[in-house]
Chain A
Amino acid sequence: MTITARTPLWGAAPVLLAVRTDDFFRCWRKVLKTFDPEDIHDLRVSSRRLREGCALFAPLYSDGLSRVIRRVRKVTRLLGALRNIDEALLFFRELGAELPEPCGEGLNALTGRLEALRQGELRRLAEGLEKLDVGESRAVIARAGAKPVLFPRPGLAVDPFTPIGSFAVTALHGRLADLAALVPAARHEGAVAAQHALRIAVKHCRYRIEMLSFLMADGAGEILAAMKSYQECLGTMHDLDVFADMVRREGLSPDVECVILNAIAERRGERFARFTALLGEHPFELIGEQVRRML
């Protein structure tokens, strides 16, 4: 179906949500077949994209799509632990190959424990996904997404006849403003919590831009590439913080722990330098300006 900037919100929202819903269930069915780490990652990302779509269009639905958001969030959370273990396994295996002995031995013990944990998580995931019932979930989500409110009702925060183009301007402006506000605190290398908050905000903003990019005159390729770079950079920084905590809890000998933590800190330093460079190359204010110009 063709949606233009002038399509009313009530006509555009169900279609855009249906696209996200289809992708989410395609990924879900694939995971049920393979349980491959990449497919699990794709499903997790797809669930986040759908949730962002729900958050974007929630004001148009009488229940704010709360049941849908809750159901999708359950899937995201169910996948989180396994995804984190897979990331950690990948990282520590690579690190073990690079660092001198006896670090490799210590890391081998850690990866062995993670592998055992992975088996348990995999079982938990399979049971959890079965319990959530893909068929029923699809029916619930598709039904809810297809029923926006058309005529004004008390408490409805948005006019359903607003053209999607003007709605997009406001919706993106809100997310971009959130980003700009988080940057000053995240500029300090040790401000782990602020960087994590910025990472989450970047993610939300990227998915929102992706969903509305069809409205942008010259395409949003460059903007999305910049957002992806931010997300990857901040994501790696966050992962390294998590990995450092894992090493501290592992109870390794002080010498080995020190070498591993130094290696992690070095990598984090490099990532932080890249993040600072990104702030110079693609400041969020400029991204906001580009988005506004394109809409």
Chain B
Amino acid sequence: MKVALQELRKIKGIGEVLARRFVEAGYDTHGKIAAAGEEALKAIRGLNPRAIPSIISQAADLADEAGKARARRVEELKAAAATLKGQVEEIARGVRDRLADELQGKRGRKIERELLKMVSALERVEGKIGKRVKRAGKGLAKAEARLAGLAEQGAKGVGKGLKKARKSLKRVLS
């Protein structure tokens, strides 16, 4: 509610009181106001009918801007997910080259499992980015931080680091 009120107050001509009345009437986003039409908005108490066209036009502009910004962010996050996948591939390559002796037994299979789970988690996150922009942004940033430096770690560190990085994506997928 608080966020919706703040957003509506970005429109010139809508103050604290009117914003509350808009929200109470079900118009809690710029998009909904832009789509409502003049007649529907006339029902809101205290709204000057002469201000309605300007409010609708501002709401349409703001909704359009928000949509574009969101689309840009989604693209950025998709690129970030792809970069992280590349990073995981590099870690796998590094592990294979540096720790060949340790990869034959149980430890090797464990790292293998973690690497595959991480890639699979990133793929699932990619699929959710469009719907969960904020969560995906936070999750990917955390995962990136946790993956950084893993290329130089020992086998145990790589396994643990991958698990932590994967867990940071959990909230995006839940």
Which A residues are within 8 Å of any B CB, using their own CB? 1-2, 7-8, 10-11, 14-15, 146-153, 161
Chain B residues, Cβ within 8 Å of A146: 116, 120
Chain A residues, Cβ within 8 Å of B108: 151
Of all chain A residues, which has the CB nearest B102? A151
CB proximity of A22 to chain B, nearest CB, Å: 12
* Chain B interface mostly: helix
Task: State whether the Cβ of B38 lies closer than 8 Å to any Cβ in chain A.
Answer: no
Q: Which of B51-106 contact A (CB under 8 A)?
A: 82, 85, 89, 92-93, 95-96, 100, 103-104
B93 contacts A161, CB within 8 Å?
A: yes
A151 contacts B85, CB within 8 Å?
A: no
Besides A10-B116, A150-B96, A150-B112, 12 other A-B contacts (C-beta < 8 A)? A8-B89, A10-B92, A11-B85, A14-B116, A147-B116, A149-B112, A150-B92, A150-B115, A151-B108, A151-B112, A161-B92, A161-B96
| A15, B85: Cα distance in complex, Å | 13
Task: State whether the Cβ of B152 lies closer than 8 Å to any Cβ in chain A.
Answer: no
Q: Give the size range of B's interface with the partner.
A: 20 to 34
Which B residues are within 8 Å of any A CB, using their own CB? 82, 85, 89, 92-93, 95-96, 100, 103-104, 108, 111-113, 115-116, 119-120, 123, 126
CB proximity of A100 to chain B, nearest CB, Å: 61
CB proximity of A214 to chain B, nearest CB, Å: 16
| A143, B104: Cα distance in complex, Å | 22
A15 contacts B116, CB within 8 Å?
A: no
A1 contacts B126, CB within 8 Å?
A: yes
Chain B residues, Cβ within 8 Å of A14: 116, 119-120
| A15, B115: Cα distance in complex, Å | 14
Q: Which of B100, B111, B123, B126 has the most CB of A within 10 A?
A: B123
B96 contacts A152, CB within 8 Å?
A: yes
B116 contacts A148, CB within 8 Å?
A: yes
Give 25 CB contacts A-B under 8 Å: A1-B85, A1-B123, A8-B89, A8-B92, A8-B93, A10-B116, A11-B85, A14-B120, A15-B123, A146-B116, A146-B120, A147-B113, A148-B116, A149-B112, A150-B92, A150-B115, A150-B116, A151-B95, A151-B96, A151-B111, A151-B112, A152-B96, A152-B100, A152-B103, A161-B96
| A146, B113: Cα distance in complex, Å | 10
| A8, B94: Cα distance in complex, Å | 13
Chain A residues, Cβ within 8 Å of B115: 150
CB proximity of B162 to chain A, nearest CB, Å: 12
CB proximity of B134 to chain A, nearest CB, Å: 22
Chain A residues, Cβ within 8 Å of B111: 151
CB proximity of A283 to chain B, nearest CB, Å: 39
CB proximity of A15 to chain B, nearest CB, Å: 7
| A35, B88: Cα distance in complex, Å | 44
| A153, B96: Cα distance in complex, Å | 11
CB proximity of B80 to chain A, nearest CB, Å: 13
Chain B residues, Cβ within 8 Å of A11: 85, 89, 119
CB proximity of A154 to chain B, nearest CB, Å: 9
Chain A residues, Cβ within 8 Å of B96: 150-152, 161
Chain A residues, Cβ within 8 Å of B112: 149-151
| A1, B78: Cα distance in complex, Å | 9
Chain B residues, Cβ within 8 Å of A10: 92, 116
Of all chain B residues, which has the CB nearest A18? B123
| A151, B111: Cα distance in complex, Å | 10
